[in-house]
Amino acid sequence: MSQALHQDVPRFDSNSMILHVDMDAFYASVEERENPLLVGQPVIVGGSAESRGVVAAANYEARKFGVHSAMAAGRARRLCPHAIVIKPRIDYYASVSRQIRDIFEQFTPLVEPLSLDEAFLDVTGSESLFGSSAEIGRQIKQRIRAELKLTASVGVATNKFVAKIASALKKPDGFVVVQSDEIQAFLDPLPVGRLWGVGKVTGAVFERLQIRTIGQLRQMPLAKLTELFGASGEHYWKLAHGIDDRRVVPDREAKSISNETTFAEDIADIDVLRAWLVELVEQVARRLRRHDLKGRTVELKVRFADFQTITRSMTLAKPTSITQELLEAGVEMLTKRLPSRHQPIRLLGFGVSKLDGSGKSQQTLFDQPDQARQQELDRVADQITQKFGKLAIRRGTGIEKDEHSS
């Protein structure tokens, strides 16, 4: 049966070589770099425990106590009362992220950022200049360590899915290479929960079926998976066979620019969700401006605890890259367009599409004086982020915002 199934599987034949580079405990590691006295101590980057703060990042010492990102700061302090809590400096982290991106782009122009601390790189066309994909991955790790005093974990594979799993397998400071003929041997022993889209509800179904590894899932017929999970069944089937044909798309070529985050624990607190939305919006807006793009359609993506995923979208009167305009649209969708009674949220995403690179002036939600002021604020913030980074310029409603107690 297994051999017959293998014969029916379309083999993923790709000459592409993809890197997934993921910075280790990025925010906390930057703070440790700036203050060596923090090294070896549990460090939490996030809001205060006295109100509605949320953990933006935790170093590996803090994680030993069960602390993780998106956790309420009060709970984090109860788990690790001796932790050192630091207020986030998102724009400073963004300036460091820009330095990391500069290193990437010295090896390939095909860089697809996922957030401030991770990106996909297609290095297929770079091997003749810099050596094998594995050698390029090692060089990037070494450059980041030597020039920025930070560590990155790198996964190398023929597609995005396998590369991303590989980068997480031996964190921190991991380096895993998966050749095309090693994909099944690499994936088969891993827990089925490693597949993108397998959450608590789907995982419970697999547990009832006694499907605990990707290898066991791979033995299931496609028809059975689609019967159980609908269109998602084919998605799981392809991933279990190591099939992922998505290409690396740089921002400048993308039809949309988006960012999302999956929380370690489901979040019901609207103020915490709003704080995370601010960071997502700021990162998307910054990427738009970096490539002289504006977007007209704004989309919010939400995945609930039961794994139901919905999207909400708004079409603006004119394309924009103004952070405040994008944020106002995102907050409206988050607070007014979700079901009135919904489960806690597992994933939050924000994106902009219908991109316009014409450079025409925008007249949008603000009147002209306010619009000019917002554009100038964004311009100055971007300059500081790219050139200086030491000044913490960010919105008061961001992750460090604690005043939303009600």
Q: Please report which confidence band the pLDDT of residue 196 belongs to, taking 50, 70 and 90 as the band edges.
A: confident
Which pLDDT band, with edges at 50, 70 and 90, does 277 fall under?
very high
**Residue 404 confidence (pLDDT):** 33
Query: 24 phi and psi, to 5 degrees?
Result: -85, 120
Pairing of strands 43-46, 152-157: unpaired
Range from 128-142, 217-231, 378-392 carrying the lowest mean pLDDT: 378-392
43-59: average pLDDT: 77
Dist. CA 358–CA 294, nearest whole Å? 9
pLDDT at 374: 55
Confidence of residue 381 (pLDDT cuts 50, 70, 90): low
In whole numbers, what is the pLDDT of the chain averaged over residues?
84
Tokens of 127: 């091997």
Is-above-0.85 flag for pTM? no
Give phi and psi for 256, each to the nearest 5.
-150, 160
Give pLDDT tens digits for 295-319. Answer: 999 999 999 887 788 999 999 989 9
Contacts of 115 (CB under 8 A, 6+ apart): 259, 261, 283
The pLDDT-based confidence of 262 (bands split at 50, 70, 90) is: confident
Residue-level pLDDT at 18: 97
- pLDDT at 396 exceeding the cut of 60: no
| Helix runs in 255-405, H state only | 270-290, 323-336, 368-387
- pLDDT for 145 equals 98
10 Å CB burial of residue 168 (0-12, 13-18, 19+) is middle
Checking if the pLDDT of 268 tops 90, the result is no
User: Band of the pLDDT at 346, cuts 50, 70, 90?
Assistant: confident
Confidence label for 342 from pLDDT (cuts 50, 70 and 90): confident
pLDDT at 117 over 80: yes
* pLDDT over 50 (residue 242): yes
Q: Active-site residues: which are they?
A: 118
Cα separation, 211 vs 304, in Å, equals 23
Query: How would DSSP label each residue in 185-218?
Result: HHHTTSBGGGSTT--HHHHHHHHHTT--BHHHHH
| pLDDT level of residue 50 (50, 70, 90 thresholds) | low
Torsional class of 125: left (φ above 0), alpha (ψ -120 to 50), beta (otherwise):
alpha
Q: Is the pLDDT of residue 4 over 70?
A: no
Q: Is the dihedral of CA 326, 281, 266, 83 positive or negative?
A: negative
> Which tokens is 226 given?
């689609």
pLDDT band at 49 (very low <50, low <70, confident <90, very high): low
Q: Cβ contacts of residue 162 below 8 Å, gap of 6+?
A: 155, 178, 183, 186, 187, 242, 244
**How many CA atoms lie less than 13 Å away from 373 in the CB half-sphere?**
6
Token digits of residue 10:
């379309």
| Domains (range + CATH), the chain | 26-90 (3.40.1170.60), 188-240 (1.10.150.20), 252-387 (3.30.1490.100)
Asked whether the beta carbons of 232 and 199 are under 8 A apart, the reply is no
Q: What is the DSSP letter of 344?
A: P
